[in-house]
Structure 1
Amino acid sequence: MTVPAPRVLVVGEALVDVVPDPGGQPRDLPGGSPANVAITLGRLERDVRLVTLLGDDQRGAMVRQWLEASNVRVLAQTTGSGRTSSAAVTLDASGAASYVFDLDWDLHEVPHEECDVLHVGSIATVLDPGADAVLAAVRTHRETALVSLDPNARPAITPDRTGPVARVEELVGLAHVVKVSDEDLHWLHPDRDPVATATRWASMGPGLVVVTRGGEGAVAVRAGGTVLEVAGVPVAVADTVGAGDTFSAVLIDALLGLGVAGAGSGEALGALSDEDVHAAVRTAAAGASVTVSRPGADPPDRAELTAVLARQAGAAAE
């Protein structure tokens, strides 16, 4: 009997990043945190659908084509403005990106789609009116799917942290897996140590909370309070656009490979050994290292991810 491939549903924004080229001239590149997660999973040959909003314009057509080229099935509603959302990207000397958004997120509901994994995150989880539809989808799927969350704080969109913090904490309590950067945690809870916040979050419902720290690696906190350190991957950084999204997607892929999906995901996640969890997070870091090594949100495909893992294993054996 053939076991059906796990179905992944991603809900969130797809947009155009307006990124300076090497000469400093702006260029349109498709992006958006949830869209980048969907792209990565598509390139890893997962069955993935993206619920999003796109304008009926040239940018919307470009974003759709980009998604479909990586085998993402696009379930797009039309933006109220008719325009596809955009983000003006500024890169600092280290390649780290900051964003100024022109965003339309008037998603009214998430269409009913059966899935084994639901991933949500970024602006879509905190910007009204669409944020309520995202929360409703998480509540609907929590008992039947692995729920993955990446808060991906965007102060430019929500400068007052009161509402976003409350919504993020509510979603954390409903998620099975949370991936969050140390920068996001510093913004959400500026007076608290990021790992301490992750440890508190891991006691609220998730089986795993992973804090990414750029080149310094990641810290994984399990529901019982176990803390696992994962070393960074040395790489020449082109820019950081899409790196965290790649990490989220490869982590989902690795957990699917360990059989964590569908109903009972919380129990399956809790039953994993620390070695399995460490390996999954290490694999996610390897995937992100590919993305930061080249411009824009350009995550690895399955062959590229396999190759970088093989190189790492070879180096560790020397």
Structure 2
Amino acid sequence: MAALEPAVSTPLLVVGESLVDVVVRPSQDDVHRYVGGSPANVAMGLARLGHSVQFATRLGDDPDGALVRTALESDGVRLAYGWQSRSRTSTATATLDAGGSASYVFDLVWDLPPLDVSAAEHVHTGSIAAALGPGAAAVQVAVSAAHALGATTSYDPNLRPQIIGTADAERPGVEALVASSDVVKASEEDLEWLYGPGSTQRVAAHWATTGPALVVVTRGGEGALAWRGAGSAEPMTVAPQPVQVVDTVGAGDSFMSGLLSGLADQGVLGRGCRSALDAAGDDVVRAALDRATRTSSITCGRAGSNPPHRAELG
């Protein structure tokens, strides 16, 4: 397979939580600490794929904060002003079952100072940052402002029911961010928690009529489905790539970073690019989806959230 061309230079801004994943494998009496947090994983994944990434987050002045900062900066992620907090760095303890699937327990502190997005080209957010107060309010404002100023935007709900409200309480905030986003990626589990079993295709097709140019639903080992904006009829189907799963930690975030990377490389993300994203051919979208599937499968074959570098996709 030929090596990929260098990434485009469009700078990407990721907004959201960073934390330490404490990964526990009871069957092996094994505990490891990894850099985590869905937006942090996306920022790292994009940087490893060669993109210019700034990350607006909050880290404590403690050993876990130093671990996260060192890891992000070593991959080329630039921390936005205001990243340091007096609070402790958040943690998520992931306990893995025999198949590598993770269940989580969180110890979280999430706040965010007002964020200047006046120069932003593309803004991505999601997960805890978009749902947990007090920081979630600032995230909502930032995404809405960026969208209004002509930047492209993206959102991954990546919901954590253990730490947020009921589905009825969370649904309005999710739908507001969907409407302010040009690219939305959600898991089948997200949609079924929010809207009930069997709702996936109905809800995703509806979301595509409320603002986004692209709505993607991931379905684990069954691949993904994608809707192309308000004119979507039948969704595009994306086949999974076979992989020997080590664990699924960070797999959805790698899918998100691969998707954004593929779209950015084809010139349909950035300020003033919404019309290009709307008009993009199916070949453009499918190439981005294929990259997303590839990055996710590589991550599933590794321990923890460890997204691939650009050279690994060649």
Alpha-carbon displacement from aligned partner over 1:37-58 (angstroms, at most 9, x marks no partner): 0001111111001100101100
Equivalent residues in 2 for 1:51-130 (5 A)? 51-75=56-80, 76-80=82-86, 82-112=87-117, 114-130=119-135
Contact 1:118 1:141 in 2 (8 A): yes
- Residue 278 of structure 1 is aligned with which of 258, 282, 286? 286
Q: Which residue of 2 is the match for residue 313 of structure 1?
A: none
- In structure 1, the partner of 2:247 is 239
Note if 1:174 corresponds to 2:180: yes
Report the number of matched residues.
Answer: 302
Quote the offset at 1:113 in angstroms. 6.2
2:83 match: secondary structure: strand
Name the aligned partner's letter for residue 211 of structure 1.
Answer: V
How far apart, in 2, do the equivalents of 1:35 and 1:281 lie?
21
Query: Deviation of residue 269 (structure 1)?
Result: 1.1
Deviations 1:109-166 (A, max 9, x none): 2244622110000000011111110011111111422101000010011142223211
Tell me which amino acid in the other structure corresponds to 2:12: V
Corresponding position: 1:134 with 2:139? yes
Counterpart for residue 316 of structure 1 = none
Identify the match of residue 225 of structure 1 among 232, 235, 245: 232
Letter in 1 for 2:133: D
- Please state if 1:25 is matched with 2:30: yes
| Structure 2 match to 1:314 | none
**How big is the shift at 1:191?**
4.3
Where in structure 1 are there 5+ consecutive unaligned residues? Answer: 307-318
What pairs up with 1:254-273 in 2 under 5 angstroms? 254-273=262-281
- Give per-residue Cα distances to partners, 1:231-265, cap 9 Å, x unaligned: 11111000011110011111111001111122333
Q: Is the CA contact 1:16–1:59 (under 8 Å) kept in the aligned structure 2?
A: yes
* Gap runs ≥5 in structure 2: 1-7
Amino acid at match of 1:9: L
| Contact 1:153–1:188 (Cα < 8 Å) also in 2 | no
Q: Using the alignment, how far apart are the partners of 2:263 and 2:117 within structure 1?
A: 24
Contact 1:79 1:104 in 2 (8 A): no
TM-score normalized by structure 2?
Answer: 0.92
Residue in structure 2 matched with residue 287 of structure 1 by the alignment: 295
**What is the aligned-residue identity percentage?**
48
Deviations 1:197-256 (A, max 9, x none): 100000000000000111111000111114100111111000011110011111111001
Quote the RMSD (CA, aligned, Å).
Answer: 1.5
CA contact (8 A) 2:118 2:146 kept: no
Amino acid in the other structure paired with 1:256:
A
**Equivalent residues of 1:108, 1:129 under 8 A apart:** no
Contact 2:20 2:35 in 1 (8 A): yes
Matched residue type, 1:84: T
Cα distance in structure 1, aligned partners of 2:304 and 2:200:
27
**1:161 aligned onto 2:182:** no
Higher relative contact order (CA 8 A, sep 6+): 2
Instruction: Please tell me whether the aligned partners of residues 157 and 186 of structure 2 are also in contact (alpha carbons under 8 angstroms).
Output: yes
What is aligned with 2:5? none
Aligned counterparts of 1:87 and 1:79: Cα–Cα separation in 2? 18
**Residues 1:305 and 2:310 are matched in the alignment:** no
Counterpart in the other structure of 2:217: 211
**Is the Cα contact below 8 Å between 2:122 and 2:271 reproduced in 1?**
no
